[in-house]
Structure 1
Amino acid sequence: MHWPLFLVSVLLLFTIGYDFFFTVISINGAGSISSRLSALISTVFLKMNYALKTRRVLKYSGVSIILSLIIWWIGGLWLGFYLLILSDELSVVTASTGTAADMSDKFYYSGYILSTMGNGDFVPGSSRWQIVIAIFSFSGFIFITTAMTYLISVSSAVIHKRSLALFITDMTVLDEDEDRMNCLYENEADLRSMINRHNQNHLAYPVVHYFFSMDKKASFSFGLWELNEVIVLIQNNHAHRPHKLKPLIQAIDSYLNTMSEAFIPRVQRDNETEGVNSGELRKEQLHNLLKSDGWNLTQNEIT
């Protein structure tokens, strides 16, 4: 037994397992490695967006991150299992002759066993390795099926995000301020429910943030900016009752607080901002959200 190789494989498998299950099952965000990998890939696409001055490249951001995470999880599991059986010369043997499998054969076998129990050309070298390999075959099945379920959940969350953006656009597209304010009052409950749901989706699947929209109409961050403008109109209009929008404002602030945990700079009150009201702080957070979504606009240019 090659103990250093054995310890490296165990450490890698533990790291992969923790990162995978925390990201996929915990519903509390992503594992540290998955979140860093996602942020790194997203940063590359955002820089390409600014350099090429086109958002078309951003359409590949989300899918690239998902594929990278799958490669990290499944590939890491394969590598960890390969190093584990490589630590013992007789862990895997040729079925026909009983001789020890070489390094390339073990690499092939370790990948094959993650989805099946093998095809019979190689077999475990002892009863102890039979148990280990059976566990890894089952683990591979769990990883693959759980990853597919995760992809379905992420797709559903992305669709909800875009539906929410279009729902907001349908309200803010009205020409008259009075019409937009009345429309917001009529749809406040549904809108609040959808924002809260998106907030929870974002907490469970942070990768949703990296699925960027190509135009403003389908962009939730841009729609939220426009929605806040309507809220400000109502708050400054004494003929309306702005207190009825407090639940909606609370939902928006809750979402922005969620985003401040990882995706946008947190806006804090200090000596310079102590006199700034919550509306101005919210506006600054929304502007930061626009930048994190790849919209390279100043507050004066946002229309």
Structure 2
Amino acid sequence: MNTFFLIIGIVLVIAAIADFIWTTLWVDGGAGPLTDRLSSALWAFMRKWSRDHPKILSLAGPIILSATLLMWIFLLWAGWTLVFSGNESAIVNSTDSTPATWVERLYYAGYLIFTLGNGDYAPTTGVWQIATVIATGTGMMFITLGVTYLLSVLGAVTLKRAFAESVLSIGSSAEEIVTDSWDGNDFHNVNLLLSSFSSQLSTITSQHSAYPILHYYYAEKHQESVPVAVIVLDEALTVFRFGIPEEHRPNGLLIKEMRRTTQSYLETMDISAGTLPPPPDLVKLHAAGLPTVSAGEFSDALGQLAERRKQLTGLAHASAVEAPWK
């Protein structure tokens, strides 16, 4: 018996199963250690190689997802091949009972985890028969959970882009959203939208926490970028809350809920603070006939929000998107 091959094989199989279950089933755990390192490395490589070119970065999500699935397949396949190589007579030819070669053991492990059901080779003793059953079980688990995970990620990507389009269709800047929300008397028309946006972004935040690979699904089109939408929306909320007199503001509870949802999204993205962005143009809003607070009052409020607003530039940098105030 070759104990070295057996131990290495068991380690690889356990690593694959643990990382797979961690990533696909543990909602609060984020990505598994191997998946997280692979995803981060590929994203950093693609950003450096593409120089943040939108067309190339739009391929990052599919490439990283495919690489993750291939990593799990490789670990399972290599692990079971080494396990069945732990004993020379573990796997034999079904026809003449001669011990399988390395290539034949590789073939045997492959058709087990892909559940092909071929009978060209067979295990000998009870231990290897049980190992064969377990190997088939890991393959079935991978196929079932892998497809479910894939569909969940793609569904979440669709929701992300629908949310971004909804927000940015109202306005591509905070000033535009605020201006278009004014009905001549107040901003109550935006209340229903804030409630809807808060619900959608809360769902997106939960999905980002459960499926961190969503961080790397880059939208080539500016109008489909969630980071851009979040930045624009959060800056609009800043204007609504601190730049508009209280009697004209949208519903205060909805603004508070939306701000908390946005903050949760920023925390989930785990970003570093960037530089302080330029302030929203309150003078432009006032010139358009909207009621605003004094410039000094608004400036004081922005000073207290400096760290939060720096997170917005950090989000733009981490997501490789052009900040909407440029």
Question: TM-score, normalized by length of structure 1?
Answer: 0.89
Partner of 1:280: 306
Q: Distance in 2 between matches of 1:176 and 1:219?
A: 16
- Say yes or no: does 1:188 pair with 2:194: yes
- 1:266 Cα offset (Å): 5.7
In the TM superposition, 1:85-164 aligns within 5 A as: 85-116=84-115, 118-164=117-163
Question: TM-score, normalized by length of structure 2?
Answer: 0.83
> Alpha-carbon deviations, 1:104-156, whole Å to 9, x = none?
11111110111226422111122221111011112101111110110000001
- 1:240 Cα offset (Å): 2.7
- Say yes or no: does 1:255 pair with 2:278: no
- 1:44 Cα offset (Å): 1.4
Partner of 1:11: 11
> Alpha-carbon deviations, 1:230-253, whole Å to 9, x = none?
112212111433633111101111
> Alpha-carbon deviations, 1:30-70, whole Å to 9, x = none?
101101100111111212332xx631101110000011001
Q: Distance in 2 between matches of 1:25 and 1:54?
A: 33
- 1:279 Cα offset (Å): 2.5
SS in 2 for 1:213: coil
SS in 1 for 2:58: helix
Letter in 2 for 1:241: R
- 1:277 Cα offset (Å): 4.9
**Quick one: structure 1 residues 104 and 302, their matched pair in 2 at CA, closer, same or farther if it must change by over 3 Å?**
same
SS in 1 for 2:305: helix
Taking only the aligned residue pairs, the percentage that are identical comes to 27
Letter in 2 for 1:125: T
- 1:278 Cα offset (Å): 5.2
Partner of 2:215: 209
Q: Which runs of 5+ in 2 are unaligned?
A: 275-300
Which of residues 222, 225, 250 in structure 1 aligns to 2:228? 222
Q: Distance in 2 between matches of 1:14 and 1:110?
A: 15
Q: Distance in 1 between matches of 2:304 and 2:154?
A: 34
Partner of 1:67: 66
SS in 1 for 2:118: coil
- 1:6 Cα offset (Å): 1.1
Letter in 2 for 1:89: E
Greater Cα shift, 119-128 or 212-221: 119-128
Structure ID, larger Rg: 2
Partner of 1:23: 23
Letter in 1 for 2:161: R
Query: Does the aligned pair in 2 maintain the 1:162–1:220 contact within 8 Å?
Result: yes
Letter in 2 for 1:139: T
> Alpha-carbon deviations, 1:239-284, whole Å to 9, x = none?
4336331111011111111112xxx1168xxxxxxx9855222211
Q: Distance in 2 between matches of 1:147 and 1:57?
A: 25
Q: Count residues with an aligned counterpart.
A: 288
